Amino acid sequence: MKNFAYTRATSTRDAIAQTTGNPSAMVIAGGTNLVDRMKVFLDQPSDLVDLSRLPLKQMERTRSGGFKIGALVTNTTLADHPEIRRDYPLLSRAILSGASQQIRNVATVGGNLLQRTRCPYYYDTAFGCNKRQAGTGCPAATGVNRGHAILGASDQCIATHPSDMCVALAALDAIVEVEGSRGTRQIPFAEFHRLPGDTPQRDTNLEPGEIITSITLPPLPAAKTGVYLKLRDRASYAFALVSVAAILELSGDEIRSARLALGGVAHKPWRSPEAERFLVGKPATPETFTQAAAIALQSAKPLTYNGFKVELSKRIIQRALAVVAKGGGLA
Amino acid sequence: MEVNMSQNISQNSNQNATTSVVGTAASRKDGRAKVTGTATYAAEHQLSGLVHGYVVTSPIAKGRIRSINTTAAAQAPGVIAVYTHQNSPQIFKPANNWMNSKIYEARLPLSDDQIHYAGQVVGMVVADTLERARHAAHLVQVDYEPQAPQVNARTANYQPSPPWFGEDFTFNSGSFSTGSAEVTGIEAQIEATYTTEMELHAPMEPHATIAHWQGKDAVTIYEPSQYVLLTQKTYAELLGLAVERVRILSPYIGGGFGSKAFPWPPSILCAAAARDLGRPLKVVNSRRQMTANAGHRSETEQTLKLSATAAGKLVLIEHLAKSCTSPVDVFPEPCTIVTPVMYAAPNIRLEQQLAVMNVGTPTFMRAPGEAPGMWALESAMDELAWTLKIDPVQLRIMNQTQSHQRKNLPFSAKQFTECLEQGAERFGWQGRSPEPRSQVSPSQTQDDLLVGWGMAAATFPGYRGATSAKVRLLPDGTAHVLSSGNDMGTGAYTVVGMTAADALGLPLNQIRVELGDSLLPDGGIAGGSQMTASLTPSVALACQEVLKAAEATTAAAAFEKLRQTGRAAFEATASTAPGEETKQFAFNSWGAHFCEVTVDELLGRLRITRWVSVMNIGRVLNPKTAASQVRGGIIMGMGQALMEECHFDPNTGFPVVYDLATYHFPAHADIPRIEVAFVGEPDLNFNPMGVRGVGEIGITGVAAAIANAVYHATGKRIRSLPILPEKLL
């Protein structure tokens, strides 16, 4: 670990001032991912600006009936909030299916969005990695890639985004509010994370010096029956092989609207507008769900060791939609 | 006082049966220290002037070092020294023959410029803090000349395996030995190939060493060691010292599973560099480094052929096994040794092959041989049972052997049938539906789950070694038991204390047990499940001897004498060793596992929902710690069955496993309640305590029981571990 200067930000503006124009400065909140990365030389900031005392820890209902969640709210606080559990149960379940209680107690909502891939090739400086250092190649492409992307990858990078919470937030069409030296702006969740393309070094569309201040959940009555389902190599404490967040608005048996987001399959939480469009107006039957799942995976490109993820993604979509249609709950 | 024992201690070890503590579920003597953090593990010792070493490891798996530039590392803040093969501290070549010394990897660290596997130690940086040492290690620039490595076990070059502890793996009986053509009576047959992946020991406590020299010719080494006295002799040879100039301290071990019996390269380098530096030095392996420098269980490929009569009597067993070793040492995974122990057949053929791969050196890992061997054998027995339409419990009872078919000796105190029958009874095995895919568990919100029941046998040899223990009676009314033997989390402190409590007629809380110090009498190895069987007879005898020395019939009388005479202590040392019985009997522990799994077929989601194991281990000194050992083995078996797998990058040969997030073993959510029961009698042929070990038997048969249950649930026969979700789709 390289030596660094540690300062505690006194205000959001102070944090922005300290990081704007200083590309080797980084912000830290819970530190559950950043500190690990620093220990293995993935990040070597000269300055570390601690946000954890800033007043960004409120949770409040919005006038329209949604929820505004401060960026420094811990994962535990968010997952345990009784109104989140009642109105957005898939968000609570997504959070609780990630990490461990101890990690969730300190990990923040804003930090969760900014955690980086756990691709083992990215993590180990013995290997080249375009995400870590542009132009050094992607050994995962011809290596052990069982956990890697099947959708939206590029020849530069096949990493997946590791978050569970972000998959639920993507399905909920959350809004990310950020603040920088030029003021505040709101980023729709679908536009917050990036696909790798030719610049896999950039995970998000956050500009240098910008800081996440809050996440807003729009009101969504159908979210009450929404489902988060995660498959992994053991029953707890593992990243997703594939996961899905699914919400259906039903009128009798007819689907009025649908939201479908996949985790563990792409560089970002993967919404499938094609499958969602297909579902609208269809009856909520297993046949419909099977067809929607096939559409969602139409553009999938499996690698040497992760071909099973294509089939597994289809099946997890079928199961999740079927459980939503029966009123939600554990899938 | 040294004495040898021939009489049966168990008859007179318990002076007052009503207060006997042996056989009761006493809680761990070291439990409070461990849960309150006062049990000091090797890396936790605080020494004045301590400095930190961090090893530099090779990212290539085969080739040589062209050059090393250490300038930047040497100039980094806090750096005290940088070692490479060009300036290695002095290390002497040990005999490495098990008697005088034993190291895990025959090649000494930094001995030349050759690279044999990725993760090999190519240097070490010493600095004033761990962080600075790690940082500077990252600055060491090594220029490698790489060659294409061999890291694919499927395409490796297999040759006949060298022998296992002097015994040839190859074994032929019946028509295989006579070369006669026909085996008659075969009415059913199965032949199948079973594979396992590379597994890591992954103990909670990483491998760690602190070396603290007193001048240039005496050293104290804090290191978790399953075999304290041999480690002492080994370091004496490595460092060119007299044995008594080396002291090993290993009072607590945070899990070893076979990987902490002898020094690995980073520890050897630590001890040698500390002398060079004249300062106490600590080297702790990172999880990443442990993938190459702390051993593993090799991947295996086993082909089993079982032929039987229509009634289910085995006529022929063929078991061929392949495993891999490193370029710098030889370790075959002895999969086939269990086969002639388990089942009788007039025609048996066993053979093993070994290939060299560019991987770190494999070694003993909990039930070496038996764990993968029983996976294959017990899967094959299940396949045969389905073919014959015979209950798998009955098939095992009918084919068990009353003698060891290689040693030609009868088994002592074998109650395998009782394990099977009682296990079946406790589990409710007779309620099993007769066909695969015929049991379901309905679900309100999901598709129905398939339910499967499976069973498999368990076994592990009864090993016993020569040990010594000292007992000291003090005027304060306490007895101290002292031995270099140790407790790697198994419960040795507790059962040693219980043995002494009964032998002296004292309550357990008046016994103090000190273990894991090379200054104490040789307690042997905590390996091969033999610490309890080897050490407790010496403890019991030493208790008798100390009463003789005190000329007292009870400990209370001895304490009274001490108080009256003002004498400091009565003390006696006793030694015990196996004898003629090993020529009369074969010794094994036995068991049976029964389990239930559910499979969510759409998602390939497998859950183990119920587990019953019945074990026959001779006398059970402490049902609580013994059951805990069995459970630990079963949980490790669940890991082997469902998730454990160390991957290598096919191009570079570098492990793509760097921590406990990338090497999965079971979390609590994976583990159901595990019911463990014991049957049988003390095995008094084996030792005077009648106790056989229990550390390893738990893992044997577990993976097969699970795969057999998966077959019953789904009709799908899984022959490759681990059973990942994609194999169930």
Q: Are B664 and A127 a contacting pair at CB < 8 A?
A: no
Instruction: Give the domains, in start order, of chain A with CATH numbers.
Output: 1-52 (3.30.43.10), 225-325 (3.30.390.50)
Q: Are residues B119 and B249 in the same domain?
A: yes
- The DSSP element (H or E) to which B419 belongs, if any, is helix B416-427
CB contacts, 8 Å: B656 with chain A: 120-121, 124, 143-144
The active-site residue out of B205, B223, B378, B696 is: B696
For the segment B364-422, what is each residue's pLDDT rounded down to a tens digit? 999 999 999 999 999 999 999 999 999 999 999 999 999 999 999 999 999 999 999 99
- B696 catalytic? Reply is yes
Q: What is d(CA B703, CA B422) in angstroms, rounded to the nearest whole number?
A: 21
Helix or strand holding residue B211 (H, E): strand B208-213
Token representation of residue A39: 């220990």
Q: What is the CATH number of the domain that holds B485?
A: 3.30.365.10
Is the pLDDT assigned to residue B247 strictly greater than 90? yes
Q: Does B27 reside within a domain? A: yes
**Residue A239 CA: distances (Å) to CA of A11, A124, A232, A308, B706:** 34, 18, 6, 16, 24
A101 contacts chain B (CB < 8 A): no
Which of B59, B134, B724 comes nearest A233 by C-beta?
B724
Question: Could you tell me if B486 and B609 lie in one domain?
Answer: no
Do B449 and B497 belong to one domain? no
| Calculated CA dihedral for residues B260, B266, B267, B272, nearest 10 degrees | 160
Asked if A118 and A162 touch (Cβ cutoff 8 Å), the reply is: yes
Name the minimum distance, in Å, from the CA of A306 to any CA of chain B: 9
Residues B445 and B588 in one domain: yes
Are A88 and A96 contacting, i.e. CB atoms less than 8 angstroms apart? no
Which residue of chain B has the CA closest to A331? Answer: B446
How does pLDDT run across A81-122, given as a tens digit for each residue?
A: 999 999 999 999 999 999 999 999 999 999 999 999 999 999
Is the CB of B657 less than 8 angstroms away from the CB of A120?
A: yes
pLDDT band at B671 (very low <50, low <70, confident <90, very high): very high
B272 with B316, same domain?
A: no
Residue B196 lies in a domain: no
> Cβ(B682)–Cβ(B689) under 8 Å?
yes
ipTM for this model = 0.97
CA distance A207 to chain B (A): 30
Do the chains contact at B725 and A235, CB–CB below 8 Å? no
Examine the domain organization and report whether B389 and B525 are in the same domain.
no
Tell me how many domains chain B contains.
3
Contact between B322 and B355 under an 8 Å Cβ cutoff? The reply is yes
How does residue B12 score in pLDDT terms, banded at 50, 70 and 90?
Answer: very low
CA distance B12 to chain A (A): 50
Query: How confident is the model over B524-553, as pLDDT tens digits?
Result: 999 999 999 999 999 999 999 999 999 999
Q: CA–CA separation, B402 vs B419, rounded Å?
A: 15
Span B244-248, average pLDDT: 98
Cβ–Cβ below 8 Å for B662 and A139? no
Structural domain contains residue B188:
no
Query: Distance from B54 to chain A by nearest Cα, in Å?
Result: 13
Look at B658 and A127 and tell me if their CB atoms are within 8 Å: no
Question: Which residue of B135, B447, B666 is in closest CB contact with A2?
Answer: B135
Q: Which of B245, B270, B293 is the last residue of a domain?
A: B293
Residues B29 and B75 in one domain: no
Chain B residues bordering chain A (beta-carbon distance below 8 Å): 59, 77, 118, 131, 134-135, 138, 288, 445-447, 602-605, 607, 642-643, 647-652, 654, 656-658, 661-662, 664, 666-670, 724-726, 729
A44 is written with which tokens?
């070597």
> A318 to chain B: nearest residue by CA?
B602
Q: Which residues on chain B are in Cβ contact (under 8 Å) with A231?
A: 603-605, 725
Query: Cβ-count burial of A223 within 10 angstroms (0-12 exposed, 13-18 middle, 19+ buried)?
Result: buried
| Lowest mean per-residue pLDDT among B14-23, B433-442, B443-452 | B14-23
Structural domain contains residue B26: yes
Tokens of B202: 């992954």
CB contact set of B479 (below 8 Å; sequence gap of 6+)? B471, B472, B473, B500, B504, B506, B510, B511, B512, B543, B546, B555
| Preceding amide of B722 cis, omega within 30 | yes
For residue A79, pLDDT over 50 is answered with yes
- Summarised one tens digit per residue, pLDDT across range B224-241 is 999 999 999 999 999 999
Is A238–B668 a contact, with Cβ atoms under 8 angstroms apart? no
Cα A212 to chain centroid distance, Å, stands at 14
Whether residue B366 lies inside any domain: the answer is yes
Residue B443 banded pLDDT, cuts 50, 70, 90: confident
The pLDDT, as a whole number, for residue B5 is 36
Best mutation target, A100, A115, A234, to test chain B (most B CBs within 10 A): A234
CA distance linking residue B631 with residue B622, whole number of Å: 14
Give domain status of residue B398, yes or no.
Answer: yes
Distance from CA of B259 to the nearest CA of A (A): 25
> For testing the chain A interface, which of B291, B648, B656 should be mutated: the one with the most A CBs within 10 Å?
B656
| CB within 8 Å: B135 and A316 | no
Asked, for residue B181, whether it belongs to a domain, the answer is no
Strand B440-441 versus strand B208-213 pairing type: unpaired
Tokens 């002492």 correspond to B232
- For residue A149, CA distances in Å to A62, A164, A265, A325 come to 36, 15, 5, 28
**DSSP calls for B530-586:** -HHHHHHHHHHHHHHHHHHHTT-SSHHHHHHHHHHHT---EEEEEEE---THHHH-B
Whether the predicted pLDDT of B442 surpasses 90: no
Q: Are residue B568 and residue B591 in the same domain, yes or no?
A: no
- Is the confidence at residue B186, as pLDDT, over 90? yes
* CA-CA-CA-CA torsion sign (B231, B237, B243, B249): negative
Query: In the structure, what pLDDT confidence band is assigned to residue B18 with cuts at 50, 70 and 90?
Result: low
Mean pLDDT over residues A22-47, rounded? 95
Q: Is A231 in contact with B603 (Cβ distance < 8 A)?
A: yes
In the structure encoding, which two tokens stand for residue A309, read together?
A: 């993820």
Which of B523, B553, B577 finishes a domain?
B577
pLDDT digits (tens, 9 = 90+) for A129-188: 999 999 999 999 999 999 999 999 999 999 999 999 999 999 999 999 999 999 999 999
Contact B642 A124 (CB under 8 A): no
Q: Do A236 and B669 touch (CB under 8 A)?
A: yes
Average of per-residue pLDDT across B433-445 = 88
Query: SS3 of B702, please?
Result: helix
Q: What does the pLDDT average to over B577-587?
A: 97
A234 and B59 within 8 Å at the Cβ level: the answer is: no
What are phi and psi for residue B174, nearest 5 degrees? 60, -135
Its domain, for residue B490, covers 2-34+465-577
Closest chain A residue to B288, measured at CA: A124
| A235 vs B138, B445, B669: nearest CB | B669
Cα distance from A71 to chain B (closest Cα, Å)?
Answer: 26
What is the CA B588 to chain-centroid distance, rounded?
Answer: 16
Instruction: Specify whether B250 is located in the same domain as B363.
Output: no
Whether residue B614 is found in the same domain as residue B672: yes
The pLDDT value recorded for residue A23 is: 93
Pick from B4-8, B238-242, B248-252, B276-280: least confident: B4-8
pLDDT over 80 at B266, yes or no: yes
DSSP string of B109-152? TTSSSEE-STT-EEEEEEESSHHHHHHHHHH-EEEEEE------
pLDDT digit string, tens, across residues A211-252: 999 999 999 999 999 999 999 999 999 999 999 999 999 999
Nearest CA distance, B65 vs chain A (angstrom): 15
pLDDT in tens, B453-475: 999 999 999 999 999 999 999 99
Q: Which of B135, B661, B666 has the CB atom closest to A1's CB atom?
A: B135
What is the predicted pLDDT for the residue at B8? 38
Chain A, chain B: beta-carbon pairs less than 8 Å apart? 102
Whether residue B513 is contained in a domain is answered as: yes
- C-alpha to C-alpha distances, B487 to B112, B227, B637, nearest whole angstrom: 37, 10, 21
Q: What is the CATH number of the domain that holds B274?
A: 3.90.1170.50
* Residue B183 confidence (pLDDT): 86
Q: What is the mean pLDDT of chain A?
A: 97
Instruction: Identify the CA nearest to B319 among candidates B338, B346, B297, B292.
Output: B338
Q: Quick check: A143 contacting B, CB < 8 Å? A: yes
Asked if residue A307 has pLDDT above 60, the reply is yes
B335 and B470 fall within a common domain: no
Share of chain B above pLDDT 90, in %: 94
Contact A124 B654 (CB under 8 A): yes
DSSP reduced 3-state for A245? strand
Same domain, B360 and B332: yes
Q: Is the dihedral of CA A314, A319, A323, A329 positive or negative?
A: negative
Domain ends where: B577, B600, B623? B577
